[in-house]
């Protein structure tokens, strides 16, 4: 459901109020909390808009004209969408449960498959790694599955997956350093 006129007015009022406080030099700690909450609300609205765009693309597969319009909008907004989504996937990759599901070897294989544009093989390798991880399989993250939707171009897909894999690599590198330090002690 799109933002209502009341929601839009509320956000605009909050923005004007915060802007006035900043310009007047009256911005304080409580205003910071208000700004942070506003940012979260905007992020939620952005997420809802992205979900609708993805759903519309799924539904419009059989209507070429509508699909073309959705694709045009997606291309227009794709940099912002991909940038925000890539950062979220990088943080997802840093999650210990997520990072531990992938070995270093599979990480390099996934990077290469991503580079080659083999979406189906990347998805299969990730799903297999999650299913086989430790004694208790880790649930495949729905946010990661979203990166495989056809609405994302091959270039966007590569950016998203490589961002996720960069987060995994950062986490594994961090754990490796900690293990080395503990061994030396």
**pLDDT tens digits, residue range 26-65?**
888 888 888 877 877 776 777 677 778 778 877 888 888 9
Q: pLDDT value at position 126? A: 92
Cα separations (Å) of 31 from 10, 24, 36, 37, 142?
A: 16, 13, 8, 10, 34
Alpha helices in the chain (DSSP H): 5-23, 29-59, 64-93, 96-100, 104-115, 119-132, 142-146, 154-184
State the average pLDDT over residues 2-16.
Answer: 78
Percentage of the chain exceeding pLDDT 90: 21
- pLDDT at residue 3 tops 60: no
- Parse the chain into domains and list their residue ranges: 1-62, 81-185
Q: How far apart are CA 46 and CA 66, in angstroms?
A: 21
Least confident of 9-13, 19-23, 27-31, 133-137: 133-137
Q: How far apart are CA 159 and CA 114, in angstroms?
A: 9
Cα angle, residue 57 at apex, residues 52 and 61 outer, rounded to 5°: 150
Q: How far apart are CA 70 and CA 88, in angstroms?
A: 23
Q: pLDDT value at position 1? A: 43
> Token pair of 8, please?
């839009």
Q: pLDDT value at position 32? A: 82
DSSP code for 28? -
């Amino acid at each position: 459901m799109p933002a209502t006129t009341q929601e839009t007015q509320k956000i605009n009022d909050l923005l004007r109020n915060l802007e006035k406080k900043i310009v007047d030099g009256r911005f304080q700690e409580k205003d910071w909390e208000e700004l942070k909450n506003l940012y979260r609300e905007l992020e939620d609205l952005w997420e809802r808009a992205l979900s609708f765009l993805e759903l519309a693309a799924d539904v419009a597969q059989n209507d070429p004209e509508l699909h073309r319009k959705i694709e045009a909008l997606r291309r227009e907004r794709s940099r912002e969408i991909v940038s925000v989504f890539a950062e979220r996937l990088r943080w997802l990759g840093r999650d210990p449960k997520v990072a531990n599901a992938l070995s270093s070897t599979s990480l390099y294989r996934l990077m290469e498959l991503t580079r080659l544009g083999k979406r189906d093989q990347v998805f299969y390798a990730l799903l297999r790694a999650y299913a086989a991880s430790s004694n208790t399989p880790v649930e495949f993250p729905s946010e990661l599955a979203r990166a495989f939707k056809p609405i994302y171009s091959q270039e966007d897909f590569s950016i998203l997956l490589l961002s996720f894999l960069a987060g995994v690599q950062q986490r594994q590198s961090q754990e490796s350093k900690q293990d080395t330090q503990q061994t030396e002690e």
